[in-house]
Amino acid sequence: MASRSTNTPERFGLDRLATPIGIALLVTDAEGTLRALDWEDYEHRMRELLRLHYGTVDLSDQPAPAGMRAALSAYFEGDIDRLTAIAWRIAGTPFQQKVWTALAKIPAGTTMSYGAFAARIEMPKAVRAVGHANGSNPISVVLPCHRLIGANGSLVKYGGGLERKRWLLRHEGVEV
């Protein structure tokens, strides 16, 4: 994975947002761009992903932009399309960035198997690599890794726990 080559820590703000499925951790940069979204009970995982992608990271309490908080709150209140209003930026390998960027194009209310997704990004033999990149997605919900499911329709793997994945899919109108 790409990491910074200097010893100067990357500085990000950390905010918390209450949602129906737990406290969301919002990590933003100096421009107010979302760099990570994870769950309070998975903070260790989030910090490890930040370290892998950015090197040394300094997180300090800082409110996320009001527009971002409003868009996320609206999403959790049922305005599913509000996620597209959130500015985000990712670091990672070119392959990870390709996967994560393509995740944002899966429409709300739909699911896709890992195999179909790999084919969509024109890498049909990279199913396992897609799964690995999906599992390293630093911006859950906004980059909707929860919309990827097993080939048989089963809910498989979600960094925030399968109960959250189930909730998110049902919230978006998917029968699971």
Q: Are 75 and 141 in contact (CB under 8 A)?
A: yes
Please state, in angstroms and rounded to a whole number, the distance separating the CA atoms of residues 44 and 42. 5
Question: For this structure, is 145 an active site residue?
Answer: yes
| DSSP per position, 2-18 | ---SSSSPEEEEEEEEE
- The span from the CA of 142 to the CA of 165, in Å, is 13
Phi, psi of 19, deg, nearest 5 = -130, 170
Judge contact between 3 and 54, C-beta under 8 A.
yes
DSSP summary character for residue 65 = P
Q: Which of 145, 148, 168, 169 is catalytic?
A: 145
Residues annotated as catalytic are 145
